[in-house]
Amino acid sequence: MPPLSAGAAWGVLLVAGLCEIGWAIGLKYTEGYTRLVPTAFTVGLMVLSVVLLGWALKALPVGTAYAVWTGIGAVGTALLGMLLFGESREVARLVCIGLIVAGILGLKLVTPGE
């Protein structure tokens, strides 16, 4: 894959994080990898997520990119868990999710080269 500008790398990292949300939620639908279509979709998103992360790492610091990637996945998965599976929406949980978002934004703002 060709090198990316820093701006493009952030976009690729966002898509990688969205793929991470997809595969994390997909795990629930595989029912322990016993359902073929959800399993294939989930594994495909796993691979795509890691490949895109690797591509973004050509232009972004590894510590920042990895933290943002996992943060996007954690926040998105937690929110979708609430919407799709009726998981807890307690205020303390929402505050903690907000702290993760603040960390993601903070890392984006302090990363050199932007």
CA distances from 90 to 39, 93, 97 (A): 31, 5, 11
Find the domain containing 30 and state its range: 6-110
Residue 84 belongs to a domain = yes
pLDDT in tens, 64-103: 999 999 999 999 999 999 999 999 999 999 999 999 999 9
Q: Is 43 exposed, middle or buried (0-12, 13-18, 19+ CB in 10 A)?
A: middle
pLDDT in tens, 6-47: 899 999 999 999 999 999 999 999 999 999 999 999 999 999
Give mean pLDDT, residues 94-113: 91
Residue 1 belongs to a domain = no
Does the pTM surpass 0.85? The reply is yes
The answer to whether 52 and 1 are in contact (CB under 8 A) is no
pLDDT band at 113 (very low <50, low <70, confident <90, very high): low
